[in-house]
Amino acid sequence: MERLNGFAPAVLRQLLRQGPMSQQKLECAWEAAVGRAISRVTTVRLRCDGIVEVAVRSEAWRRELERALPEMTARLQSLAGRDVVKGLRVAAIGPGGTA
C-alpha cells in the first residue's frame, strides 16, 4: 500500500501533465511547489519558450526567491515536466506595475 503523502504528488503530477499547460494548471503547480505563503505574494506566467516568469511586489521578496530558485525550479519541473518548464525568472514589480 502506498502512503498518501507519496500518492498525492503523483496524482497531481499526472493531472498537470494531461493536455496543454494552462494558467490555472501553472498556478496550481506553483502553489504545490512553493507553498501557499509564497504563492500568495507572487504572480506566475508561462512564456512560450518555457520560462516561468515570477513577479513579486518587492525587492526583498525578489532576493528571497532568487536564493531558492534552484529548489523551486526543480520542484516545479517535477510537477509540470521539464519539457514544459525550462526555468524560472524572478522580477520585482515596480510602482507602475512593471517588472
Any idea what the CATH number is for the domain that residue 26 is in?
3.30.300
Within-domain flag for 97: no
- Whole-prediction pTM value? 0.82
> 3 phi and psi, to 5 degrees?
-70, 150
What mean pLDDT do residues 38-50 have?
A: 95
Q: What is the pLDDT of residue 85?
A: 95
- Report whether pLDDT(2) > 60: no
Within-domain flag for 10: yes
Burial of 48 (C-beta count, 10 Å sphere; 0-12/13-18/19+): exposed
Within-domain flag for 15: yes
Domains contained in the chain, number: 1
Query: Which grid coordinates belong to 16?
Result: 498537470
**Host domain of residue 52:** 4-92
